[in-house]
Amino acid sequence: MSSRVLLVEDEDLVGTMVQLNLEAEGYAVEWIRDGREGLARAEGGDFALILLDIALPSMSGIEVLRELRRRGRGTPVLMLTARAEVAAKVEAFDLGADDYLTKPFDIAEMSARVRALTRRGSHA
């Protein structure tokens, strides 16, 4: 598998865990720690999936998602966030998120969701 994944996450522990796990599964992971930089990278790269935190420096993940969809980018987005309230989930889905996983999460579940989203994207 050579799917490229963009990880936009500012927490070192979470980012390291996600990156190491996905790379062990054969994904090429590019890790960005800033919202504005993540948006620029998502625009300039060909990624199978974007894993996106909500609470990011310079630009929130919600703003990144909103801007990606406004610009017509259909790359699947999996939100990885500590925001567990229903309103946050509804907002993300309404803006075009494809999945939503709250922290702390089980790495096996995250991996299964990544596989499902990248599999779905490869058949689109």
> Distance between CA 26 and CA 94 in Å, rounded?
31
The domain covering 4-117 belongs, at the CATH homologous superfamily level, to Response regulator (3.40.50.2300)
- H or E, element range at 68: helix 61-70
Give the pLDDT confidence of 65-84 residue by residue, as tens digits.
Answer: 999 999 999 999 999 999 99
* Domain locations in the chain as residue ranges: 4-117
Could you state, in chain order, the average pLDDT of each consecutive group of 10 residues for the chain (124 residues)?
A: 87 97 97 98 94 97 97 96 95 97 96 94 52
> What is the per-residue pLDDT for 2?
53
* β strands within the chain, DSSP E: 4-8, 28-32, 49-52, 77-81, 99-102
> What is the per-residue pLDDT for 106?
96
